[in-house]
Structure 1
Amino acid sequence: MLHTSTALVGTTSAITPWFSALLLELLRWPGIADGNEEYLLADVDSVESFASLISARLEVQSEIYGRSSDIPVYRYPVEWPHRDNRCLRVVQVQGLMPASSDFGDGLEGLSVATYRERHRNHTATLLHLAHRHIQARDAVLGPQTRPRVDLVIFPEFAVHVDDQDLMRAFSDATGAMLFYGLVGATTSGTTGTVNAARWLVPQRRGGRRSWVEVDQGKWHLTEEEGHLGVSPWRPHQVVIELQSQRERPYRISGAICYDATDLALAADLRDETHMFVVAAMNKDVKTFDSMVSALRYHMYQHVLIANCGEYGGSTAQAPYDIEHKRLIAHSHGGNQLAITVFDVEMDDFGPALRAAVPPVTVMKRVKERIGKTPPAGLGRRR
């Protein structure tokens, strides 16, 4: 009687909310709760009309297929309240565990009881600090409606798979969706562990709360990951689609560290998403700074990286025309525990694409463009 991807297969499956809704309607049983949803099969009264429904879905999937990286792209729509100021409030959490020295005994060493206790306590402390940071900010800038923050990003390998209770409790306390790297992730059909990051998105309907949980895999592995026995795994690209009754959807996608350097992935997402987030554990901070400076323009959207505190370098940037606005947040320095809160203007590089509006003339020629001139060939529509 449960048709979500998590219930059927797990967080690594490619069962989208659309397919779950289709199964729910095909297998509907008397007495099931009715949330007044729009039904997929409302106009289906024959085998032919059902075939047309499936064909239309396949056509939509074909249009957004990642042809450069040769992987399917799946949208996960969620109902999300948009703030009156049209901003997304984002938190970057830069923790200190695990450190590079913690991998000396392989990935298995991160699951040893003594280390697990330290890592879980560190995760809980980080979440507590982030929550108090948000509370302190609200105390000065005024109380905020839920969600108090919209998106919280953590580094690669930041959270053990057995600590999901902490992440759900933090999401309930803040109302935020989370994107965080996993330790100990596995999937059927793949030997050993995989490197994955989890999207944990609360979905509230009719006074009830459910979860959209789906994992984003990593395909391009580093040499160190090869020695650790990590297997490449990225069968699809996940796009979280924030829907509102009044506005067009705002789409966010993520990658894990080295995958963000794949230009094929950036090309596939440029006209699909409005924000690109990266969970990283990267010692070459200078190279990633340069990469973000390039991606923010070529993808023409906000690019956010949460790196581990051992190396620092968590950053958020966007291709604004005024130079001091391009760097929204940046945490430099080694062994730095950092929690950064900032707002992202949704309309600048989102569906409205306000940043690409041509400059206007007021009395004399004054450049008023919000963002830089769009890159050649940008196909995303305003």
Structure 2
Amino acid sequence: MLNEHLYVGVVQTSLKAEAAWFDDGSSNWKNSVRMSRLEELRAKREIRHFLASLKGRNPSPDIILLPELAVPIGFEEQLKRAAEKLEVIIIAGLDYRIETAAPEPTVSNEALVIVPRRLNGVPISRQTQVRRVGKTHPAPAEKDKLLKIADASVSFRPHPTVWIFESDQLGKFGVAICYDFMDLDRIVMYRNKVQTLFILAYNRDTTSFDHMAEALSRTLFCNVVVCNCGQFGGSLAVSPFREPFRRLIYRQSGQKLTHAQVVKLPLSSLFDQQKNGNNTDFKSRPPGFDDLVSLNSKTAKI
């Protein structure tokens, strides 16, 4: 049975790109696409601290988010054990993955979705499940930086897949990484399919993501949660409530701020509005949400 509310732990870590990924002078490109040793140790310590701070919270989170690129490679097993201990789903951005099978220097950008055997005390599966959600489109600055690493011209491997996860208790949710948030083809595929859309980001342009989240919350008619890095801030959560003051549920503004917060999102009532359209707490559903109309394309030369 669908929960009345969805509780999401949003974590902003202090990861700084200039300190984490740089040409170390070794002429080995692989050293430049992995976090520096110092930043890796700091990231692990910080993640442990924030996960511990969310333990025992009342209400406890159903899902915990960590930003794009926030988790060092090799920390995955610790995250898996943390999800099992906390009995929450963890959705976390991984450091760049080196594609060893590629004929030329290549990396991919992925997020882990860890679903434990028990969710808030309720058994849901025989064993913990782990899925990887890949990024399809690198941001232009990200692509340029990879091409210039250690004179190796590191390529980016896209993952052109749209993931939707389904839970009896937590509804349906989508997960996308940073620049994919701007991909309209991807966004259309979430239409009338999810109650919540999660975005993991390492994003400077926080204002644009604010506007995108607000707009897509109405056009997709779902909760939208952005988990950005603490270096730039701008994490937020919005829902398509009718009253304007209720729509912005959470926002963390300001740069260079580490932060963890549990936010409360509507779930069963939002699902009811998506299905029936008669809940006055929410905005009206967008045109074509229920009965999709195929539009005819016409071009006229003038």
Partner of 2:151: none
1:93 aligns with 2:4: no
Residue 149 of structure 1: CA displacement?
Answer: 2.0
Give the CA deviation at 1:200. Answer: 1.0
* 2:83 counterpart letter in structure 1: S
Q: Aligned AA for 1:293?
A: E
The equivalent residue for 1:364 is: none
CA shift, 1:326, in A, is 0.5
Give 1:222's match in structure 2, choosing from 139, 145, 148. Answer: 139
**How far does residue 261 in structure 1 lie from its aligned partner after superposition?**
0.7
1:374 offset after TM fit, Å? 1.1
Change (3 A) 1:207 1:150: closer
Relative to 1, partners in 2 of residues 1:100 and 1:118: Cα closer, same or farther, differing over 3 Å?
Answer: closer
Matches within 5 A, 1:42-61: none
| Residue 123 (structure 1) aligned with residue 44 (structure 2) | yes
* 1:262 and 2:183 are equivalent in the alignment: yes
Q: Read off the aligned partner of 1:91 and give its amino acid letter.
A: G
1:355-374 matched pairs, under 5 angstroms: 357-358=277-278, 369-374=280-285
Counterpart position of 2:237 = 316
2:31 corresponds to: 108
Asked which structure has the greater CA Rg, the reply is: 1
Partner-residue secondary structure (3-state), 1:251: strand
Distance 1:119 1:256, change over 3 A: same
Q: Does 1:164 pair with 2:76?
A: yes
Please give the residue correspondences for 1:212-361 in structure 2 after superposition, counting only pairs within 5 Å: 212-227=129-144, 228=146, 229-243=154-168, 250-350=171-271, 352-353=272-273, 357-358=277-278
Q: Distance in 2 between matches of 1:271 and 1:189?
A: 37
Mind listing any 5+ residue stretches in structure 2 that lack a counterpart? 24-28, 147-153, 293-302
Per-residue deviation, 1:189: 5.9
What's the secondary structure of 2:108's corresponding residue? coil
Distance in 2 separating the partners of 1:92 and 1:338:
8
- Shift of the 101–207 alpha-carbon distance from structure 1 to 2, 3 Å rule, reads closer
| Superposition deviation, residue 201 in structure 1 | 1.0
Q: 1:242 to 1:310 in 2, by over 3 A?
A: same
Give the secondary-structure state (helix, strand or coil) at the position aligned to 2:261: strand
Query: What is the aligned length?
Result: 274
Q: Contact 2:21/2:33 (CA < 8 Å) preserved in 1?
A: yes
**What letter matches 2:32 in structure 1?**
G
Q: Is 1:151 equivalent to 2:63 in the alignment?
A: yes
User: Over residues 200-244 of structure 1, what are the superposed CA-to-partner deviations in whole Å (9 max), with x where a residue is unaligned?
Assistant: 111349797522211111111122322312414223222111025
Say which SS state the counterpart of residue 254 (structure 2) adopts. coil
CA distance in 1, matches of 2:99, 2:2: 34
Asked whether 1:177 is paired with 2:95, we answer no
Name the one with the larger helix percent. Answer: 1
- Given that 1:348 and 1:355 are in contact with CA atoms closer than 8 Å, whether structure 2 keeps it comes out as no
SS of the counterpart of 1:292? Answer: helix
Q: RCO higher in 1 or 2 (8 Å CA, sep ≥ 6)?
A: 2
Alignment pair present for 1:202 and 2:108: no
Give TM-score, length-normalised by structure 1.
0.65
- TM-score (normalised: structure 2): 0.81
Contact kept, 8 Å, 1:347 with 1:354, in 2: the verdict is: no
Structure 2 Cα separation of the partners of residues 156 and 198 of structure 1: 10
SS in 2 for 1:162: coil
The sequence identity of aligned pairs, in percent, is 23
Q: Give the distance between the partners of 2:237 and 2:249, measured in 1 at CA.
A: 5
| Structure 2 CA distance for partners of 1:357 and 1:267, relative to 1, 3 Å | same
Deviations 1:249-270 (A, max 9, x none): 7111111101001111111111
Contact 1:160 1:182 in 2 (8 A): yes
Contact 1:276–1:303 under 8 Å retained in 2: yes
Task: Tell me the amino acid that sits aligned with residue 338 of structure 1.
Answer: H
Paired residue type of 2:206:
V
Q: CA deviation at 1:339?
A: 0.5
Which stretch shows the higher mean deviation, 156-165 or 307-316? 156-165
